[in-house]
Chains A and B, each alone.
Chain A
Amino acid sequence: MRDACRSIELDLSAWMDGELSVARAETVRSHVEACRACSAEQQMLAGVGSTLRRWDAAETRYLATNAFRSRVLEQIGAPASAAGSSAAGAPDRRGRLVLVRAAAAAVVVVATGAAVAMALPRGIGDDAERIARLEAQLQELTGRAETGPDGAVAVPSTSTPIDVARLEDWQPVVTPAEDTAALGGDTAPAEGVERALPEAWEEHEDRWIVGDSFPALDEFRRRERDLRFRADVRRRLAAGANVSPERPTTDRPAGGPLASYLGGLRVSEGTFAPYAQVQVWPIESDAPEGVVDAPLTASEALREKSLEVTESARGGAVLVENSDRRGRAVMLLAGDVLHGGRRDRVVAEDVILAAGQRRQVRSVATGDARRSRRRYSRSDGMAPVGVRALLAAGAGEAAIDGVVEAALPWLGAAGGNGLDAVYGNDELLRRADSYVSRFTSRLDRPRVVGFAVAAGGDLLGVEVFGDHDTFDALSRRALRSYVLEALARPRLEGSTPGREVVTAALTASHRATRDDQTAFVDTAANLRGYGLLESGHVHHAIVFTDRSVAPGAASAAAARGAAGALPTAPGTVVDDEPGTENGPGRGDESGGTGLSSGSER
């Protein structure tokens, strides 16, 4: 090693980390550029960094949990109720005391003209059923109000009186920013509240909340969203019959079977607990039961050898044939992963395949190539929902590969081969299935035909099927694709959205679906989706949001030539790199959604 190199060497790491002075950094940079040995050394060190970070991402994916915090609190001798209290060892009666004081605080806040949101204080649990009924009633009312005639939103009449008095029981949450604006002061409302009842309020980041009312900030935020919804209903009720819509999503009323189907969906009543920052809401429908047997899934059909899938001479497609002897249909869904062939493939369109039917189905290749295999032998599951969302946006092989590669380290499947790395990782699948199992009992109800899933604060999507039996056949498989998406994210941020977010997504989807179209986009609501219909019957429908694809993954997809973020405008075809095997959306009869109705039965 030359003397010049020796003097540089010790500073190489510090230079790479941006820890040198400007002058010294320039000296090191110019030396490294000129010296082959030091340049190689620098690349070697950089390689170590990336190896370590990949390893770290695969091994240390931790989520913050309430259970952990509870154990620590227990160990320091905090009372069980300390989850939301502000003083260790405070007597249990403090919760009740706060209720009384919070009510007084409400008077203070309202009297000073501060803007308030409604909050649900501790102690309401004794009337939980009544609250749940009221919530469902209000939600239904709001849903109907938003679908009023002529673009105007009217509050409909209801045979059951709204329990407005009960709404008044909720206590206020003070939002300093709003209060400040209302009062023209800097911190006057908070100070006012503090002056009146210093121990009744606690500061939580940018919020003041009633002390001891919520076990956790996450819970508070979830509640807060619910309560904003209720406050909105109150405002509507108080305003009378006609209220202007805040954001019309379409110029004309929705129509057609898909729109009707989406319009009849609702979130099931009841309270549903999230698990590890993943929330699943059951979606119900009053639509009549399906008149045919539930179709076979790709997995079942391949396992039973009722479906033959082979490589197609046409690029970007596979040849499928339903040879089921019992005459059952097979449903292939966009996102189904097919293992085999020269390369594994992800199905890129929804298809119902009648017994005896044979056709080409669009698909996107994934993973490494194999030698001379034509048949596809199994389908272990579906791609993470972010991939499915990109398929719906017309993304092709390169974009899908980009998203999958970005996801693999977080899934603990680093170093693998495309989606096969996901489905070859038993530990990951066990973990995903443990999530799915948490939610299956809430989905096992006769009217439930689908679900909505959120990860952290992001609504990943809503997926529904034509009837409960079909949903039952496909629910675990579909739900796992959402769980995989959640697990593939570096971290889940934000608290779980309230059910009103799902209701809003359903309403927007309903309104955005026109006439007999089977795909829809609502750019204002950041939604897009499609349905698989056959003779006016909806077999399957899915709604993606702009959060279906993780921002990081969207960037990875964009880097590979896809637009990435959802939704794209109607008719937009997200193009791929030239020369790749699949032409996303090319020759696509569905107007660029990347999906066709597939109603060729």
Chain B
Amino acid sequence: MDSDERLMQRVASGDLPAFRLLMERWEAAAKRYAYRVFGDYQSAEDAAQETFVRLYRAAGRYQPTAKFSTYFYTVLGNLCRDRLRATRRRTARGEVTEDAFVIDELVAGPEARRPDRRAEAAEDRALVRRVVAELPEKLMRAVSLREFEGLAYQEIADVMDANLGEVKTWIHRGRKKLAHRLRAVMAEEERT
């Protein structure tokens, strides 16, 4: 079976079946990652789509010395970061009124046979989503790449163009912040 790196080399020479195979392998990962950033299925789908387009167009510049996963998450991460910043800028200018992370209605649906339980589950998810979204970007990226994508610290360092010490710190601080925020938010929820 061809490695991802070999497939990328074939993509560089215009090999579409190789590109398709690469998409089959990485499509779900791209969408999951983007969803964590945007909290919105449609935005995640769009970002994943644009990532593969960029990968195809930049395949000629891909150096097989780098792991494909590193390259992939770098392209995807940069794209998500740019889009997120653009969204925040538009929000700040008043062009976007929705919070990019408020997607309960998409996740949960409007009607509930068991409103109490459904609302509870949706609230829990929304709460975690909110807390994750509140993390500083670097911490969020580092924690996501570790917790959800299972990347090694060195791979995360490569993706984020950082050194191992920074990655170690970001992941630890990210987890701690999440723990404290989750605890605080939950306590607040209980009080209200």
Contact = CB atoms under 8 A, between A and B. Distances in A.
B124 interface: yes
Nearest to A85: B16
A76 interface: yes
Given A53-B147, A68-B48, 5 more contacts: A49-B147, A51-B128, A52-B148, A206-B1, A424-B113
B153 A60 contact: no
Contacts of A420: 114, 117
A73 B107 contact: no
Contacts of A96: none
A415 B121 contact: yes
A62 to B, nearest CB: 4
Interface in B149-192: 152-153, 168-169, 171-172, 175-176, 178-179, 182
Q: Nearest 10 pairs between A and B by C-beta?
A: A424-B114, A427-B109, A13-B172, A60-B32, A55-B128, A64-B27, A62-B31, A62-B28, A205-B1, A72-B52
A69 B179 CA distance: 38
Contact of B146 (A17, A206, A414): A17
B117 A69 contact: no
A255 interface: no
Interface stretch (A40-48, A258-266, A565-573): A40-48
Interface of B: 1-2, 14-17, 19-21, 23-24, 27-28, 31-32, 35-36, 45, 48-49, 52-53, 56-57, 107-109, 111-114, 117-118, 120-121, 124-125, 128-129, 132, 143, 146-148, 152-153, 168-169, 171-172, 175-176, 178-179, 182
A48 B179 contact: yes
Interface in A493-530: none
Interface in A567-585: none
B35 to A, nearest CB: 5
Interface in A386-444: 412-417, 420-421, 423-427, 430
A205 B28 CA distance: 19
Interface of A: 9-14, 17, 19, 44-45, 47-49, 51-53, 55-56, 58-60, 62-65, 68-69, 71-73, 75-76, 78, 82-89, 202-206, 211, 216-217, 412-417, 420-421, 423-427, 430, 491
A10 B175 contact: no
A485 B124 CA distance: 24
Which among A55, A85, A491 has the greatest number of chain B C-beta atoms within 10 A?
A55
Nearest to B45: A68
A216 B107 CA distance: 31
A55 B129 contact: yes
Nearest to A16: B175
Contacts of B107: 59, 412, 427
A411 to B, nearest CB: 11
Nearest to A58: B125
B153 to A, nearest CB: 5
Contacts of A84: 17, 20
Contacts, number: 155
A60 B172 contact: no
Contacts of A62: 27-28, 31-32, 35
B129 A19 contact: no
B62 to A, nearest CB: 15
Contacts of B2: 203, 205
A311 B85 CA distance: 58
Nearest to A47: B179
Contacts of A78: 16
B129 A59 contact: yes
Contacts of A11: 168
A204 B15 CA distance: 12
A512 B163 CA distance: 63
Given A17-B146, A62-B28, A75 B14 contact: no
A87 B182 CA distance: 50
A82 B16 CA distance: 7
B27 A69 contact: yes
A426 B17 contact: no
A69 B14 CA distance: 16
Given A12-B172, A56-B36, A427-B109, A416 B117 contact: yes
A73 B20 contact: yes
Given A68-B48, A203-B2, A86 B118 contact: no
A113 to B, nearest CB: 26
Given A85-B16, A427-B107, A427-B108, A415 B120 contact: yes
Contacts of B113: 423-424, 426
A204 B17 contact: yes
Given A14-B153, A60-B32, A427-B107, A52 B117 contact: no
Nearest to B153: A19
Given A13-B171, A204-B17, A72 B53 contact: yes
Contacts of A64: 23-24, 27-28
Nearest to A380: B113
A69 B120 contact: no
A400 to B, nearest CB: 20
B152 A19 contact: yes
A203 B113 CA distance: 51
30 contacts: A12-B172, A13-B168, A19-B152, A44-B179, A45-B175, A52-B178, A53-B148, A56-B36, A60-B32, A64-B23, A64-B27, A65-B27, A76-B56, A83-B20, A85-B17, A87-B15, A88-B14, A203-B2, A205-B1, A216-B20, A412-B107, A415-B124, A416-B121, A417-B117, A424-B113, A426-B109, A426-B111, A426-B113, A427-B108, A491-B28
Contacts of B48: 68
Contact of A425 (B28, B56, B118): B118
B71 to A, nearest CB: 17
B112 A426 contact: yes
Nearest to A215: B20
Contact of A56 (B14, B49, B148, B153): B148
A59 B109 CA distance: 13
A420 B116 CA distance: 13
Contacts of A59: 35, 107, 125, 129
A52 B171 CA distance: 13
